[in-house]
Amino acid sequence: MKEIRPGIGKRARGFLRDWSLPRQLAGQSSASDAARSTQSEALRPRLEQADKVGTVICPYCAVGCSQLLYARGNQVIHVEGDPRSPVNAGTLCPKGSATAGWLNSPLRETKVKYRAPHSDHWEERSLDWAMDRIAYLTKRTRDETFVEKLPDGTTVNHTLGIASLGGATLDNEENYIIKKVFGGALGMVWIENQARI
Ligand code: SF4
C-alpha cells in the first residue's frame, strides 16, 4: 500500500518500536527491556573513551576533596568525586566539578607573566627566572628591613617589610614549613592564610 505521506509509516513503526507500553503488555519489565528505545540503546557511557584514571586532591579549597581524573592520552576528559574518600564520599562542589573545564581552557595561563616596574605591558618569563627573582627580592628586602632590637633595647629579630598570604589549599605540613621558614628563619611577622578569610 502506498504511504499517504512519505516517511509517515516509518515514523509510526519507530514510535511503536520505541513505545514501551506494547512491550510491557507483552510481559517485558518496565524497569529494563521495555524501558529501552532506539535512542537509549545508542547512548554510551561518558567515560568509555578514557584510557586511564588517576586520583588527585581538588586544588580549589582547604576541604581537600578527592577526585578521580579520567584521561584519554594526555587530555583530561572528565573529573568526578572519589567515592572512597571519607572527606567528600564521591561528591564535589561546583568548583571541583568544573576542574576539567579549567584544565582544558584555552584561556588558562601556563607561563609566568612579569610586568616590570613602571612598564605598561606583561612579559613572559620562565619559572626558573621567576623563582630566582622572588628569592633575590625576598633576601634583599629582608636584609634592608631586618630589625634586631627595638629602640628600648627589646630583642625582636624581625622584618615588617615582607608579608605572606597563603592559599586555602595549603595543607598542615605546608603551612608548618611556611611558618618555620618565613617566621623562624627570615623573621617575618605577617603570615596569613586565605582559609581564615
Ligand atoms: S570540590 Fe569544592 S569543597 Fe571540595 S576541595 Fe574542591 S572546591 Fe573545596
Give the nearest ligand 1 atom to 96 CA: 1
pLDDT level of residue 5 (50, 70, 90 thresholds)? low
pLDDT tens, position by position, 119-164:
999 999 999 999 999 999 999 999 999 999 999 999 999 999 999 9
Which amino acid, one-letter code, is at 33?
D
Tens-place pLDDT, residues 19-58: 788 778 878 777 777 778 888 888 888 788 999 999 999 9
CA of 86 to the centre of ligand 1 (A): 13
Pairing of strands 66-72, 188-193: unpaired
pLDDT at 7 over 90: no
Measure 172 CA to ligand 1 centroid, in angstroms: 17
Distance, in Å, from the CA atom of 42 to the CA atom of 18, rounded to the nearest integer, reads 13
Position 154 scores a pLDDT of 97
- The pLDDT assigned to 4 comes to 55
98 lines ligand 1 (CB under 6 A): no
Mean pLDDT of 95-123: 93
Q: Are 19 and 40 in contact (CB under 8 A)?
A: no
Residue type, 72: R
Q: Check pocket membership of 65 for ligand 1, CB cut-off 6 A.
A: yes
Q: Which amino acid residue places its CA nearest to atom 6 of ligand 1? A: 96
Please check whether residue 59 is in contact with residue 192, taking contact to mean a CB–CB distance below 8 angstroms. no
Q: Is the CB of 79 under 6 A from ligand 1?
A: no
**Mean predicted confidence (pLDDT) in 179-196:** 89
Cβ–ligand 1 contact at 63 (below 6 Å): yes
Pick the CATH number of 52-104 from 1.10.565.10, 3.30.200.20, 3.20.20.240, 3.30.200.210: 3.30.200.210
- Predicted confidence at residue 20, as pLDDT, reads 80
Q: Could you tell me if the CB of 95 is within 6 A of ligand 1?
A: yes
The domain limits of the chain are 8-42, 52-104, 112-196
User: Which ligand 1 atom lies nearest to the CA of residue 81?
Assistant: 1
Average pLDDT over residues 66-77: 94
pTM over 0.75: no
